[in-house]
Chains A and B, each alone.
Chain A
Amino acid sequence: MNAFSLALRNLLRNRRRSLTTLLAMMIGVSAILLFGGYSRNINLGLQTDFVRGSGHLQIQHTDYFLYGSGNPAAYGIADYPRIIATLQNDPVLAPMLTVVTPRLSLGGIAGNFDAGVSRTVFGAGVDIAGQNAMLQWNDYDFPGVAKTSPLTGSRSDAAVIGTGVARVLQLCEPLQVQNCPGAQRRETDGAAAPADITALSAQEQPQAERSASRTAIELLAANAHGAPNVARLNVIKAEAMGVKEYDDMAVQLHLQQAQRLIYGQDAPKVTAIVLQLKHTGQMPAARARLTELLAGPLKGMPLEVHDFATLNPQYGQITGMFAAILGFIAILIGAIVLFTVSNTMSMAVVERTVEIGTLRALGLRRSGIRRLFVCEGALLGAVGALCGIVLALLVAYAVNHSGLTWLPPGNVDPVPLTIRVWGEPAMIGRTALGLMLVATLSAWWPARRAAKLNIVDALRHV
């Protein structure tokens, strides 16, 4: 008969009190796990969105990340096909890669000059095949069918704009954009685009190829030499981007179109080479290899590597916020468990004072008495944690199959309300271990008090 066996019997001796304590622990553990599973799902969802959109890593021109938004064209990466080929053929990096694709960012003014409106926009020229391949990434098994870019199979002058851009450019009706009150429309005199812009547009695209569609816009941008250039684009879709600031500025077009606009007849460049990995966990290894390649075969090119968390600071902010909330909840629950177990143990010490005196008289050392009560706390912690895990799994299963949906920040469409407890052994292990530790520590003080009892006083206790 060891201390744990004796502890278990003592816990069973006062079933109601032990059950009450266990219930508190169960609720505590399951609350932490459920919120942890919920925030874990948000974090992974967010990560999936960013990785699908901008990859795990991006190779950019040095300083583009800090200064490039003002003049992306000045930070173009020349000879990018060779760099992409080097990455795709690298024996260390290649097995980790799912996609390597170029991207060209640009700033400019989009105008619907037929309506006499224009606005500043931020455009991205993308390789559609690469973009679609990136959208297939689903390392965390989120439900639903992977989307493809609306530009898939479209003409080279096709573009997708944010719904905010569509509203300002008065393209709501042809693009079927919601929330476009008629009052916002203003009558125009139907004046055409300024003559200089029309002339630039004509240079860019022969009249025969120009779209006469009701969704045509002009995109004015500074080319690589600082001179203005214009592309006439046919907007095929207005897409909600989830974040209003982005929605009001986003224009997506074919990479070749964007390159023609910025570099004209010069050698085309890109502002980023996007790398998507099979697993996020491979990022450190991939990054290390990229550093080696930049110092080796790609030496001499002014390039640097950024990860998706750096490129999307809101990822760290949101995950940090959830981690802080979870930490706060865990501390609160830990304190509740601490006081509950401590109270239970203190009552047990008072009730079993004579027993403690007897055991000490029989020759049990003070450390033996301490061990008895600490074992009881640890057992309560272990059983409470186990029951809490089971409860959390059941609740998570019920919620995940309830059909409830919610709209996460930055999303356009509602997503299923999912709590990831199953398949998160690290989170379960940390929570269980933490609560067991708290329960054991909670028992330490009453156990210490029990061990310090004077034998004669304990035996006289009524």
Chain B
Amino acid sequence: MSSVILKQVSKHYRLDAVEVPALSEITLTIASGRFTVLSGPSGSGKTTLLNLIGCIDQPDSGTLTVAGENVLALQDDALADFRARHIGFIFQNFNLIPVLNAYENIEYPLLLTGVDTRERQRRVQDLLDAVGLADRAKNLPGQLSGGQRQRVAIARALATNPALVMADEPTANLDSHTGAAILELMRNLQCERRMSFVFSSHDPNVLAMADDAVFIRDGRITGIEQRTPELAA
């Protein structure tokens, strides 16, 4: 089953009067429940592709289907609701809301999707346990280390049980030891919960964990590797 389908997707950026191609006629299918890594050098277009898949950016042409929905047909509010329900985000800089503590940061997406109080408490507590931060629930982001912040960000991304989790170089701002621990945590959670994780990274450690690797250069896919076999549904 496919989580994301891109067909002939192109994206240009305008730099002053010049149009700079970021992605050119990308056709790609990302399978459900897989750990997919978009890999390529800086400026290759992997973040742009991740943004398109995460429905926070729009292509200039082509079609994009996420979790079975033609997201390009959705209006802004519907797209926001779609992201809240189906997509989780893990950012390079963690991007936690500074005025909310760890518990509240994880809870926030659940508030957006209207999950009731009891279920919210259950899920947040479960995720705090899963990322090993049950004792840090009341801490504000400023009171947490980089690794702990990224754990909170991971828990937040998983809170709504999304079909797809997007992670843009999630270990780039962490030391190698912490980065490895975070990677392992994400991999374990992805396996446990059978979610689709899509990473953009040029870190070989991340690439080593991938089920599927998509190589990008100059806005074009230069290769796709299936490193582990797809499980039968």
Q: Do A and B bind each other?
A: yes
Given contacts A13-B98, A13-B99, A355-B98, contact A360 B91 (CB under 8 A): no
B178-212 near A? 1/0 per residue, CB < 8 Å: 00000000000000000000000000000000000
A118 contacts B by Cβ under 8 Å: no
A354 contact set on B, CB distance < 8 A? 93, 95
Whether the pair A355, B56 counts as a contact (CB closer than 8 A) is: no
B46 contacts A by Cβ under 8 Å: no
Partner of A361, one of B54, B81, B98, B107: B54
Residue of B whose beta carbon sits closest to that of A11: B99
Interface segment out of the listed B62-70, B108-116, B130-138: B108-116
Given contacts A362-B108, A362-B112, A366-B76, contact A10 B99 (CB under 8 A): yes
Whether the pair A456, B56 counts as a contact (CB closer than 8 A) is: yes
Query: A155 to nearest B CB, angstroms?
Result: 83
A455 contacts B by Cβ under 8 Å: yes
Query: Considering the complex, which residues of chain A in the window 312-358 have a beta carbon less than 8 Å from any beta carbon of chain B?
Result: 354-355, 357-358
B126 contacts A by Cβ under 8 Å: no
A1 contacts B by Cβ under 8 Å: yes
A13 contact set on B, CB distance < 8 A? 98-99
Query: A79 to nearest B CB, angstroms?
Result: 78
B149 contacts A by Cβ under 8 Å: no
Whether the pair A362, B57 counts as a contact (CB closer than 8 A) is: no
B151 contacts A by Cβ under 8 Å: no
Query: Considering the complex, which residues of chain B in the window 111-159 have a beta carbon less than 8 Å from any beta carbon of chain A?
Result: 111-113, 156
Whether the pair A455, B56 counts as a contact (CB closer than 8 A) is: yes
Whether the pair B56, A362 counts as a contact (CB closer than 8 A) is: no
A117 contacts B by Cβ under 8 Å: no
Partner of A363, one of B81, B91, B107: B81
Report how far A360 CA is from B54 CA in the complex, Å.
Answer: 12
Whether the pair B84, A362 counts as a contact (CB closer than 8 A) is: yes
Report how far A355 CA is from B93 CA in the complex, Å.
Answer: 11
A363 contact set on B, CB distance < 8 A? 80-85, 87, 109, 112-113
B77 contacts A by Cβ under 8 Å: yes
Report how far A361 CA is from B99 CA in the complex, Å.
Answer: 18
B161 contacts A by Cβ under 8 Å: no
A12 contact set on B, CB distance < 8 A? 99
Q: Could you write out 20 A-B pairs with CB less than 8 Å apart? A: A1-B107, A13-B99, A354-B93, A355-B97, A358-B91, A360-B56, A360-B80, A361-B56, A362-B83, A362-B89, A363-B80, A363-B82, A364-B80, A365-B81, A366-B77, A367-B77, A455-B56, A455-B57, A456-B51, A459-B56
Given contacts A358-B91, A362-B108, A368-B112, 4 further A-B contacts (CB under 8 A): A363-B81, A363-B112, A363-B113, A365-B77
Nearest first, the 4 closest Cβ-Cβ pairs linking A and B are: A363-B84, A9-B99, A358-B95, A455-B56
